[in-house]
Structure 1
């Protein structure tokens, strides 16, 4: 094994640590779940490549979509051709990263109409007593059950991937804003003044034969703005309000009309459906409920109001509306264009590779990161095939 492969990487967490560019073969901009996983798989597949992982915040970045991702794994509704890949991701979450909060939880998806794979909702009430207080089973009399579904913490996956990548030789720089340039990146090392202003402490121009853009929803914009490369990808702002109805380790994941109720920290996190892309420059706006301003964006509020008859708890004080947009957690979500069902993807661009998660990142994000790492490493391997 080479010295590069056997030696742990360097971490630059703050500007007090002097940086001297040792020269890199690969720079990964963005240390969320997708970027950190890609960095780890690159260390495993091509340990001789010198690799730098960058992130503008901490690890994991609390402003990124990784922290607010639902962390719901389910093979339900996936095409048959994707099932083996999704199963490989599930196995990775169970065994490869340590403690990421992985918990088996059945997923119940409720419907008004019967289908070949549905069961009577009333038959599930004895097994899941919590349904009596949440779902009007007479209005949603049919349900599909995914007994292999599970929940986990995407932020913990990002942290574990980055830590393993460092132990296996990757370098990491935090508090570093990356601007794409031809053949590399311009890195601004950020610091905070005594008046709490974020300023650029120093700037470095780093070149590398391979640059991976893993900036989440900001990735396509960075490619277009910095490199002048047009992409077909979009983004949407998704909030995850909370429903304060008690949940425990036996509570299932619930879903109806695109809304997911994910058991979390003794209650439920509400993950709304994504209806459309948001135009560039869009600023999310709150809505009104019976004349009272709320912190939920208008489109999300309208969805919840429409579901109040089916999920009565939404019409109670258990729903946290927030007083402003900032009171209700939210983040920009990438919407990969040109891929079926918006599945995660990677794309070769002039001078860079773009890596995107999106709505199916919980289920297929790790395999997409692995696939890109294998492509950069020049190896033909897909362990789920």
Structure 2
């Protein structure tokens, strides 16, 4: 969302000077962007935000070049009948590879979002930042920035330029202080922490640690995205990336650790493992060696995810912290509404 903000600001206010500061690469390898599902769907979007979601979809399809945007149905599976639900066997029949994933006797009902799509959020972040730089924005990589209190309107940051030694130690070799009329904190799950500890501004926020294990079952370009009990199975790179539901915030000071399956240590945190075990009968491949378990937490990709408003279903937002200082937060719905929130702030 920070890269998207820069992209739109260069379009809307090309006369302004703009500096992008990034501690790592673009996108940051330690953030949630690279592990985001990249699934656009109108499901879960409030009625008064549907027009914004559709605008975001148009932007994803046309504004950023090759980000692997592809219309791909999303099929959500249920054990119980309900409004707008059809037979899961009928919904999955056109997709034999997806049908083979599901025990339709356990999940006999489905609803289909034929207008859903997938894309690569990491490619989007890179394309947006590169376009902003080509349009005149300045870029400083390998720079750690800390907001500092300022009595004037706008914001100040202390910038530490980083170097890496041949033993992979990070050292600081320059320190600068910069002022700007507008300062935007787009730090993902670290944004609220920076606002509170750097500026003394309290925000209503939370965060959760989400892992994205791999299911090594073949998928194709036309395989639909599946969802059951909050678990999303996203076809990617010839297999499936699993995006577990975020049920609640993780407590302050929580350190992710792996769980145990039949007494054997795994790299999946306990909460995620419990979700997958509960679905193994309904989605049989989860109970096979196709599921990547790892041996420690470092074996399974994961990142901290911001929960705007302190809620697991919180929508992306921008929040004014003080005169000229703003906070951008994405969260679980950033794939669908992140761009419009960044555009609104720009």
- Length-normalised TM-score, structure 2: 0.96
Structure 2 contact 93–99 (Cα < 8 Å) conserved:
no
Aligned to 1:233: 205
For 1:70 and 1:94, locate their aligned partners in 2 and report how far apart those are by CA, in whole Å: 16
For 1:340 and 1:301, locate their aligned partners in 2 and report how far apart those are by CA, in whole Å: 19
* Counterpart pick for 2:143 among 166, 172, 176: 176
* Counterpart pick for 1:364 among 332, 337, 343: 337
Helix, strand or coil for the counterpart of 2:96? coil
Aligned to 1:54: 21
Aligned to 1:122: 89
Task: Report how far residue 77 of structure 1 moved.
Answer: 3.1
* Counterpart pick for 1:63 among 17, 23, 30: 30
Helix, strand or coil for the counterpart of 1:130? helix
For 1:268 and 1:340, locate their aligned partners in 2 and report how far apart those are by CA, in whole Å: 23
Q: Where do 5+ consecutive residues of structure 1 fail to align? A: 1-33, 374-385
Deviations 1:179-201 (A, max 9, x none): 11123100001110122101111
Q: How does 1:88-103 map to 2 (within 5 A)?
A: 88-103=55-70
Helix, strand or coil for the counterpart of 2:218? coil
* Counterpart pick for 1:355 among 306, 321, 328: 328
| Structure 1 residue 108 corresponds to structure 2 residue 75 | yes
Structure 1 contact 192–198 (Cα < 8 Å) conserved:
yes
Helix, strand or coil for the counterpart of 2:20? strand
Q: How does 1:273-288 map to 2 (within 5 A)?
A: 273-288=245-260
* Counterpart pick for 2:107 among 137, 140, 152: 140
Aligned to 1:321: 293
For 1:340 and 1:269, locate their aligned partners in 2 and report how far apart those are by CA, in whole Å: 20
Aligned to 1:379: none
* Counterpart pick for 1:213 among 185, 191, 196: 185
Deviations 1:14-68 (A, max 9, x none): xxxxxxxxxxxxxxxxxxxx00000111111111111101110011211111110
Q: How does 1:185-334 map to 2 (within 5 A)?
A: 185-334=157-306
Task: Report how far residue 309 of structure 1 moved.
Answer: 1.0
| Structure 1 residue 344 corresponds to structure 2 residue 316 | yes
Task: Report how far residue 126 of structure 1 moved.
Answer: 2.3
Task: Report how far residue 131 of structure 1 moved.
Answer: 3.1
For 1:186 and 1:168, locate their aligned partners in 2 and report how far apart those are by CA, in whole Å: 25
For 2:331 and 2:286, locate their aligned partners in 1 and report how far apart those are by CA, in whole Å: 26
Count of equivalent residues: 340
Structure 1 contact 339–345 (Cα < 8 Å) conserved:
no
For 1:259 and 1:90, locate their aligned partners in 2 and report how far apart those are by CA, in whole Å: 22
For 1:311 and 1:123, locate their aligned partners in 2 and report how far apart those are by CA, in whole Å: 17
For 1:340 and 1:247, locate their aligned partners in 2 and report how far apart those are by CA, in whole Å: 29
Deviations 1:299-341 (A, max 9, x none): 1011101111111110000000011111100000000016893
